[in-house]
Amino acid sequence: MRVTIEVNGERRTADDVWPGESLLYVLRERLGLPGAKNACEQGECGSCTVYLDDTPVCACLVAAGQAEGRSVRTVEGLAGGDGLDPVQEAFVATGAVQCGFCTPGLIVAAHELVHRDPGATDAEIREALAGNLCRCTGYEKILDAVRLAAAKKAGERA
């Protein structure tokens, strides 16, 4: 079947999509967007997190046909023309990236939190990132990154 999705602001079409195929597969294998990662395919790790109509979801658990006509934003769509998104910058600045496999999903989850609630407490940050696993960092630097990005966002709004 054919699936048409607005991906990172652009209308994209994929053909010969098998109806049981995931949005993650379509993004990575058919639309050339390998940012969202495939690690568990069962919703446990969050490395495939993307925005579906402004809501973070596991792309591995969305059937491609369910995304028909809707808008998807992946990590590739966060950086603007003038460089990295502030959340991405914060991950670099705090050393929150080691192997990097979990990073795209964490960036999307953190991006949503920072925009929704730049005043989030540590407990709220942990809760917001509870669906994203990282095997390298021990999470402390990731928390530093989110605090940094949130503080910057809060400063902008003040």
Ligand X SMILES: Cc1cc2nc3c(=O)[nH]c(=O)nc-3n(C[C@H](O)[C@H](O)[C@H](O)COP(=O)(O)OP(=O)(O)OC[C@H]3O[C@@H](n4cnc5c(N)ncnc54)[C@H](O)[C@@H]3O)c2cc1C
Interacting residues with ligand FES (CB under 6 A): 38-41, 43-48, 58, 60, 97-102, 134-137
In the complex, least distance from residue 105 CB atom to ligand FES, rounded to whole angstroms? 7
Q: Does 110 bind another protein (CB under 8 A)?
A: no
Distance CA 25, CA 38 (A): 8
Residue 93 binding: pick among another protein, ligand FES, ligand X, none (C-beta 5-8 Å cut-off by kind): none
Distance CA 37, CA 28 (A): 8
In terms of phi and psi (left: phi > 0; alpha: psi -120 to 50; beta: otherwise), the region of 88 is: alpha
Q: Which residue in 104, 145, 89 sits closest to 122, CA to CA?
A: 145
Q: Which of residues 27-86 bind ligand X (CB under 6 A)?
A: 42-44
Residue 100 binding: pick among another protein, ligand X, ligand FES, none (C-beta 5-8 Å cut-off by kind): ligand FES
Question: Measured between alpha carbons, how far is residue 136 from residues 95, 102, 141, 143 in Å?
Answer: 11, 9, 10, 14
Q: Does 127 bind ligand X (CB under 6 A)?
A: no
Note the residues at the interface with another protein (CB under 8 A). 1, 18-20, 22, 41-44, 46, 49, 55-58, 60-63, 65-66, 68, 109, 127-128, 130-132
